Amino acid sequence: MASVAHGISYAVSYLFIAIIWINHHYLMRLVGVPTLRLIWINFVHLFMVSFLPFATAWTARTRLAAPLVVLYAGLFVCIDIAYSAFEREVLIHADIADVSERTRRMARRRSLIVLASFTTATLVAFVAPRFGFGLIWGALILHLRPEVPLVASRDDLTNR
């Protein structure tokens, strides 16, 4: 059972880091010269992400015990808050020609849904850690395709 827990928690963490990397690079395409504020927000985000390997190993060692899944999900909340601040800062400074208002609203909405999902996973993990862990998986799906909410489509640009 321990190897299954290790494998699952590793897969979730790896997927999360891959999603962070993809979304980060996608957002950075919208930035000309990054501001000092954006750089520091990015450092805070990366600092939060740096705890992920530790939390992953600890959660797996305890076979998804409730207190550790709560901690693990709580870390996802902290990382998502930092990511949302990063995304917001990028979108504030992005050229309106690159990102429509509709796209910005979709990004804000998605951020709130993901944050609510991670928060729910944290609370659920107190009583049902495996279900809480599953909610984390579900929340990650919303970040798999960064281009959907972050870059204006040609239709958005021509319909303005």
**Separation CA 78–CA 45 (nearest Å):** 9
Instruction: Give me the phi and psi of 14, to 5 degrees please.
Output: -65, -45
User: Tokens standing for 90?
Assistant: 């990028």
pTM comes to 0.80
**Separation CA 123–CA 143 (nearest Å):** 21
User: Tell me: the pLDDT tens digits for 7-65?
Assistant: 887 888 888 888 888 888 888 888 878 889 999 999 999 999 999 888 888 887 887 88
User: Tokens standing for 113?
Assistant: 């849904």
